[in-house]
């Protein structure tokens, strides 16, 4: 019986593939304010700008490849029941070979209408055009969870976190909620590994091991701990 290894990933694991992290040190995402491109208010104010922004992100995603960190997580499936909870909207985990990925914040390669949140369309890397309608008759928009919107997958993520025999956090600053709260649902005696180039601003308990490294390097160290 394989142990369940639950991995919470964030923008840091995709950064090595050349994808700009969600929020740079200047508070912008690809030179746009978060309010303009990642909130319902931004969409209401200028839907064409928001559409263009995500079309460009999708176009960029088609040009990058999974990195060693993604591939290590896929290889860990030989030894563990690996369940990935990601805050990332890219598809690099899947392309890296991981078979169980829960996207908390939606996916760039999917679209939906403005009203029916349950009817999801797989669009790959193509653009969504203004005037393109979903079955609910509304403008097609990116299937992305924006700030201020509900996170439909959060309860599934909570359940997964509670089932973990080992819990790993990689590439996330633990600042974005509700994802950052998932560590609170992990069992008391479950070992938690936090991989980050700098120590996150949380108090480490005795079950936590901090690995000071970037995504790929840190996951290689984790491999050596768990597998070797």
Between CA 50 and CA 40 the distance in angstroms is 10
Which structure tokens are listed for 105? 């914040």
Between CA 174 and CA 181 the distance in angstroms is 8
Our CA dihedral for 91, 108, 112, 100, rounded to 10 degrees, sits at: 20
* Residue 163 buriedness (CB in 10 A; 0-12 / 13-18 / 19+): middle
Which structure tokens are listed for 70? 């993604």
Between CA 137 and CA 117 the distance in angstroms is 13
Q: Is 70 a catalytic residue?
A: no
Active site residue: 70, 93, 105, 143, which one?
Answer: 105
Between CA 65 and CA 97 the distance in angstroms is 12
Question: Which strand (E) or helix (H) includes residue 74?
Answer: helix 68-75
Distances (CA, A) of 118 to 110, 121, 143, 148, 203: 12, 10, 10, 18, 38
Q: Which residues are catalytic?
A: 105
């Amino acid at each position: 019986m394989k142990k369940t290894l639950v991995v919470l990933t964030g923008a840091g694991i995709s950064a090595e593939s050349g994808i700009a992290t969600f929020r740079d040190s200047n508070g912008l995402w690809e030179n746009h304010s978060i309010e303009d491109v990642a909130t319902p208010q931004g969409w209401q104010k200028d839907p064409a700008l928001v559409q263009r922004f995500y079309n460009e992100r999708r176009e960029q995603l088609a040009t990058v490849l999974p990195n060693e960190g993604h591939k290590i997580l896929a290889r860990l499936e030989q030894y563990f029941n690996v369940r990935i909870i990601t805050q990332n909207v890219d598809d690099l985990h899947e392309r890296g070979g991981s078979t169980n990925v829960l996207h908390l914040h939606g996916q760039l390669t999917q679209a939906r209408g403005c009203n029916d949140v349950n009817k999801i369309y797989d669009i790959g890397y193509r653009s969504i055009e203004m005037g393109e309608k979903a079955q609910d008759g509304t403008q097609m928009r990116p299937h992305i969870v924006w700030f201020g919107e509900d996170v439909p997958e959060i309860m599934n993520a909570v359940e997964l976190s509670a089932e973990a025999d080992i819990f790993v956090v990689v590439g996330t600053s633990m600042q974005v909620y509700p994802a950052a709260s998932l560590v609170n649902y992990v069992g008391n005696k479950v070992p938690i590994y936090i991989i980050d180039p700098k120590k996150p601003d949380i108090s480490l308990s005795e079950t936590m091991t901090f690995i000071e490294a970037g995504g790929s390097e840190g996951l290689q160290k984790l491999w050596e701990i768990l597998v070797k």
